[in-house]
């Protein structure tokens, strides 16, 4: 059973084990902001407290951190070297911790304390569910799973409001895979579904799926059938298919343009 946690960027996957999944923590993001002239306190204690609270409430058998635990690449900041081992050590006292590394996780294996298991960056399979970060093509064993879970994209939707503002909101994206893309890359067909998880760190920007994206973001945008991707807000609201959202936006824009004309 797959169940997003209400009003939280967390996924609970229940099989033989109950696995709580969090993607894209980006610990140490504050250091990059500081280099750009923006000074804010470290958010690592707050992120740790949020995760510990959910672990205490849900009591999973395992916590899976689905890539980009750290932020800075290719180097590792002094903040990350200090905070990440302590962060992972504190979590591992509460629950078994697994990590599937992402593209920001250079040197993470060297910082992980005993008891924290770092899986291959190509992903791994647990209870029939394939987990991978999304920055690179997953292992064939992962792709043969009936359900895939990834992060990396920080999926979001930009919703235009009547007053004219258009904030982005983090979302869950549930997408069927494009058969041709899988066949071309792996040589076999699959009818698996892909769940793309929102970023756990509130400071991370989001990729609005309802807007054009020309930036190379790894294989996820190649694998997912975006037209048939269903979008959910963190409170569980089903916004419908991505293609429907785009169609409604175009219709609303035509009406606004007509009124101005």
Question: What would the CATH number be for the domain defined by 2-260?
Answer: 3.60.21.10
- What CA–CA distance (Å, rounded) separates 236 from 172? 9
Q: Which pLDDT does position 128 carry in this prediction? A: 95
Q: Which two tokens stand for residue 216?
A: 């190379």
Token pair for residue 43? 């958010």
C-alpha distances (whole Å) from 205 to each of 26, 108, 168 are 11, 22, 9
| pTM of the entire predicted model | 0.92
pLDDT of residue 257: 59
Would you give per-residue pLDDT tens digits along the chain (261 residues)? 899 999 999 999 999 999 999 999 999 998 888 778 888 899 999 999 999 999 999 999 999 999 999 998 888 888 899 999 999 999 999 999 999 999 999 889 999 999 899 999 999 999 999 999 999 999 999 999 999 999 999 999 998 766 666 788 999 999 999 999 999 999 998 989 999 999 999 998 889 999 887 676 789 989 999 889 999 999 999 999 999 998 887 776 666 655 555
What integer pLDDT is reported at residue 175 of this predicted model? 96
- Going through 5-61 in order, the beta strands assigned E by DSSP cover 11-14, 18-22
Q: Residue 80: helix, strand or coil by DSSP?
A: helix
Distances (CA, A) of 187 to 7, 10, 178, 184: 39, 32, 13, 6
Q: Give the DSSP H/E element, type plus range, for residue 259.
A: helix 242-260
Q: What would the two tokens of residue 242 be?
A: 């991505």
d(CA 26, CA 102) in angstroms, rounded, equals 10
| Predicted pLDDT at 72 | 87
> Quick one: which of 219, 140, 206 has its CA closest to 178?
219
């Amino acid at each position: 059973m797959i169940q997003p946690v209400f009003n939280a960027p967390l996924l609970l996957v229940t099989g033989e084990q109950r696995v709580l999944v969090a993607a894209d923590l980006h610990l140490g993001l504050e250091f990059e902001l500081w280099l750009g002239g923006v000074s804010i306190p470290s958010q690592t204690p707050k992120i740790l407290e949020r995760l510990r609270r959910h672990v205490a409430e849900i009591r999973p058998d395992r916590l899976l951190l689905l890539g980009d635990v750290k932020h800075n690449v290719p180097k590792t900041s002094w903040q990350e070297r200090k905070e990440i081992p302590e962060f992972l050590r504190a979590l591992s006292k509460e629950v078994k911790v697994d990590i599937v590394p992402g593209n920001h996780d250079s040197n993470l294996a060297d910082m992980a304390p005993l008891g924290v298991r770092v899986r291959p960056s190509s992903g791994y399979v647990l209870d029939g569910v394939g987990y991978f970060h999304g920055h690179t093509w997953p292992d064939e064993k992962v792709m043969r799973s009936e359900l895939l879970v990834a992060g990396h994209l920080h999926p979001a939707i930009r919703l235009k409001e009547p007053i004219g503002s258009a904030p982005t909101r983090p979302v869950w994206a549930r997408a069927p895979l494009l058969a041709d893309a899988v066949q071309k890359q792996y040589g076999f067909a699959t009818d698996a579904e892909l769940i793309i998880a929102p970023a756990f760190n509130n400071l991370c920007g989001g990729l609005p799926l309802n807007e054009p994206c020309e930036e190379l973001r790894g294989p996820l945008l190649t694998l997912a059938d975006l037209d048939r991707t269903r979008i959910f807000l963190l409170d569980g609201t089903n916004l419908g298919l991505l293609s429907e959202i785009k169609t409604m936006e175009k219709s609303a824009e035509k009406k606004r343009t007509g009124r101005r004309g």
